[in-house]
Structure 1
C-alpha cells in the first residue's frame, strides 16, 4: 500500500550546498512517498546470518526447464554433494531433455513431473527433497517458493524472485516463519571482476565507497520469441519501471554493505517514452501495440542511510552493447567493468597498498594493463582462487553460474549462511515496484522499506562464509 502519495517538490537555487539553501518562493518540502512496512508477525525473528542443519547430500528438485533450467541441471552434474531427485515442467519434452542430461552424466535418473500447470506441487510434496530450484516464468516464482517452504524445503529462485511488494513481504515472512533459506539466484555477484573488485573495496583499496552504478543493458531482440507464451515481452508491455534490476544492483549492494551496516533510504526514477517497445511488440506478436508501458531506457537514483548514492539503468530494447556498468567510486580510487575493465588508484594510496610502478599513475586515467593485472592477481577473491579453473570448464555465463550453484550447495552442506539472503532478494527486487511508483508520480522520491524491520545495522559488513 502506498501511503501519503501527494507530492509537492522542493526546489533550491544552484548554491544549495550551503548550510541554508535558498528556497524558491511558494515551494514546500515533502517527505518521500511512503509504502507500508507490515509489522513482523508475533513469534517471528529475522533470518540474518541464518544457519540451518548441515546436509551431507543436498537433494534437489528443479521446477522450470525452459531457457535456463537445462543448463542449471547440467551444472549440478559437476557439484559435489548435490543430487537431482526430481524434474518438473509443463512441457513433457523439456523434462525428457533434462533427464537425458542426467543420464549422460551417469547419475541416477530423476523422477519426472509434467503435463499440468500444477505438476510442480507434487514435486514439492516429496519428502526426499531438501532444495527446490525454481527456474519458471516470473509470475510463478512466488507461489512455487511459498508452497515449497511450507513443505519444509529451502528455495532458490531465478531473478527476479518477486515482482510486487506484497510478494516480497510474503517471501520474507515465510522464510522467517519456517527458518528456511530463500535465496535469489543472482549470478552476477559471482563475476570474477566483480568478486575481485569487491575484495579490493573490502580491503580499502578505493577508500570509502561513495557512489556505485549498475545496469542491465541488453538488447533482447534475438531472445523475445524464446520465452514461453511470450511471457517476458508481455510483462514489459504491461509494466512501467525498472522491471529487471537485480543484475545491476546486486554487486553494488554487496560493496556498499546494504543491510549489513547501511541501508537504502529512497529512490527516484525517470524514464524515456516507449519509442521502440511498440515496434518490437508488433514484430514479435504480429499485433499492433496499443499501450506499451515499459520505457526504452529507465534510470533510478538511490540514496543510502550513510549518504552514499547508487545509479541503476535498465534498457532491453535499444541496439546498445551489453553492459552491467558496475562502477565503484571511492575517496581513493575507482573501478569500472563496462565498457572497459579498469581501475584508477590515487597515487598516494597506491604506494601504501603496494601497487607496482605507482610513480607513473595518473589521476585522469586507468592504471596500465600490467598494473591492473597485478592488482587483480593480488586481490583475487578466495572464491575465485578456489573455483576459477572448474568454473571456466563447466561454464554458464563465463563460469559465474557454476560458482553461484556451487556456493549454494557448499553453504547448505556446511550449515553456513548463504551468500545472499531473503533481504537481499527483497532489496534488489523492490526497485521494480518502487520505480514504477516514482514514475507514476512525476519522478517523485519513494521510500525504500527496511525489509529487515530494524536489523539492518546488526551485521557490520558483507562477508562470504567458509567452513572452518
Structure 2
C-alpha cells in the first residue's frame, strides 16, 4: 500500500490533525470537509488540500482511505457508520457515540466492514500514561485495584458562538446530567487494568457556577471493573479554577503512582522494588529508560509542538503505521465502546441518585 489518503471532517480540531498527519510518512491529507464556508476558506488559507468540501457524503467520495472525524460529538457515530459501510478506515474523536443505540449500530457497522475503526483517545498516548502501563504489565505495581482520573477544564467560552447561539458543547456535554465527556480520564486507567467497567455510579453537586446549565458543575463517576477494582472519574468543565486536564493516580499491592495536580509538578511513583524508604517517592522520569522506547524519552521535533503534550503526534503515527502494516489498531471498536459506555450509562445513574447501573459487555452483543 502506498500513502494513505486522509480526509478530515471538521476544520477546527481538524487543523491539528492535518499538522500531525503531515509529519508522518505514509499519509497525506487530501480532503477536508466543513459545512461552514468561512471555516473551509480559513483552513485553505493555511493548508493545501486537493478538496475542500461542504458535505460529508462528498468527503467519503473523494477517493480517501481514511476519514478523521473531528465533527461535533453527536455526529461521531453516524459519520463513522457511513464510512465503515464504504470500507473507509475511521479515526474518530471522542466520544465514540452519544447514545446506547448508536453504540450498537456502530459496533455492527465495524463488524461488517473491511475497514478498521479507532477512537482517537489521545490521552492513552501521553508519555507518562504509557510508562505506567508498561510498568503495570511488568508487574511492578503488583495487583492493581484503584485508580483516579480527572479532567478539570473550564470551557464555558466555547458553549456559545459569536451570535449567542448554543454550540454542540453546550448541548451535548452540559445539556444533560452525567459524565458526558469522560473518556480522557477513563481511557488510560482502562488501558492499565486491561478490563471493562461492569457497574457505574454517578453523582453531582448540582449547578452553581452556571445555574442555567442542566449538568452539574462537577460530576463524579465511580466505575467498578469486572475484577472488582475501583476507578473514580471527576469531570468539571465549568468551575472557575486553573485547568488540570490530566490528573491520574494508581494504587496496587506493590506501589502507587501520583500525577501532579498543578502545572510544573513532578509525576511520582512509589514502588517496593525500587524504593528503599517507605516514605521516599521517585520521579517517574527517572525510570523512563526502563519502560519507554527511545522516541518517547527523547521526544522528536515532530512531537514537541503537537497538542496534548505530544500525544496527538504519537497517536496519529501509530494509527498510520498499523493501517499500512494491516495490523489491528490500538483502540479498536470494542475498547472504544468500553471507554464510551460508562459515561452514557452514568446519565441514568445520576438521575437515580447515584444508583448502580450495569454496563453491558459489548463483546457479547
| TM-score when normalising by structure 1 | 0.73
C-alpha root-mean-square deviation of aligned residues, in Å? 2.0
Residues 267 and 445 of structure 1 are in contact (CA less than 8 Å); yes or no, is this contact kept in structure 2?
yes
Matched residue SS, 2:238? coil
How far 1:293 sits from its partner (Å)? Answer: 1.6
Q: Which residue of 1 aligns with 2:107?
A: 172
Residue equivalent to 1:302: 223
* Closer/same/farther in 2, CA of residues 408 and 427 from structure 1, 3 Å limit: same
Q: Which residue of 2 is the match for residue 8 of structure 1? A: none
Is it true that 1:251 corresponds to 2:172 in the alignment? no
Tell me the equivalent position of 2:58.
122
CA distance 1:293–1:333, change in 2 (3 Å): same
Deviation of the 1:401 alpha carbon: 0.8
User: Using a 3 Å threshold, how does the CA distance of structure 1 residues 164 and 399 change in structure 2: closer, same or farther?
Assistant: same
CA shift for structure 1 position 244 = 0.3
CA distance in 2, matches of 1:330, 1:322: 28
Q: CA deviation at 1:341?
A: 3.5
**Secondary structure of the corresponding residue to residue 149 of structure 2:** strand
1:380 aligns with 2:318: no
CA contact (8 A) 1:139 1:163 kept: yes
Aligned equivalents of 2:71 and 2:270: distance in 1? 43
Instruction: Provide the residue aligned with 1:35 in structure 2.
Output: none
Map 1:48-447 to 2 at 5 A.
55-66=1-12, 68-103=13-48, 109-114=49-54, 119-126=55-62, 128-225=63-160, 229-258=166-195, 263-278=196-211, 289=212, 292-323=213-244, 324-339=246-261, 340-347=265-272, 349-350=273-274, 358-359=275-276, 361=277, 363-364=278-279, 366-367=281-282, 369=283, 372-381=284-293, 384-385=296-297, 388-447=299-358
SS of the residue 2:67 aligns to: strand
The structure with the greater share of residues assigned to strand is 2
Task: List alignment gaps of at least 5 residues for structure 2.
Answer: none
2:145 alignment partner, SS class = strand
Deviations 1:31-64 (A, max 9, x none): xxxxxxxxxxxxxxxxxxxxxxxx4311111111
Residues 120-170 of structure 1: CA deviation (Å, up to 9, x unaligned) = 1111133x2111111111111122111111122111111112111111111
In structure 1, C-alpha distance between the alignment counterparts of 2:235 and 2:27, rounded to whole Å: 35
User: Structure 2 vs 1, CA of residues 391 and 332 (structure 1 numbering), >3 Å: closer, same or farther?
Assistant: farther
Q: Return the offset for 1:98.
A: 2.5
Deviation at 1:383, TM superposition (A): 5.9
Task: Name which one, 1 or 2, has greater alpha-carbon Rg.
Answer: 1
Is this contact kept in 1: 2:178–2:343, CA < 8 A?
A: yes
TM-score, normalization by structure 2:
0.92
CA distance in 1 between partners of 2:321 and 2:43 (Å): 23
| Contact 1:77–1:102, Cα closer than 8 Å, also in 2 | no
Does the C-alpha gap of structure 1 residues 125 and 72 become closer, same or farther in structure 2, counting only changes over 3 Å?
same
Does the 8 A contact of 1:271 with 1:299 survive in 2? yes
What secondary structure sits across from 1:133 in the alignment? strand
Which residue number corresponds to residue 7 of structure 1? none
Corresponding residue SS for 2:30: strand
How many residues get paired?
A: 359
SS state of the match for residue 244, structure 1? coil
Answer whether contact 1:271 1:295 (CA < 8 A) is retained: yes
Shift of 1:418: 0.6
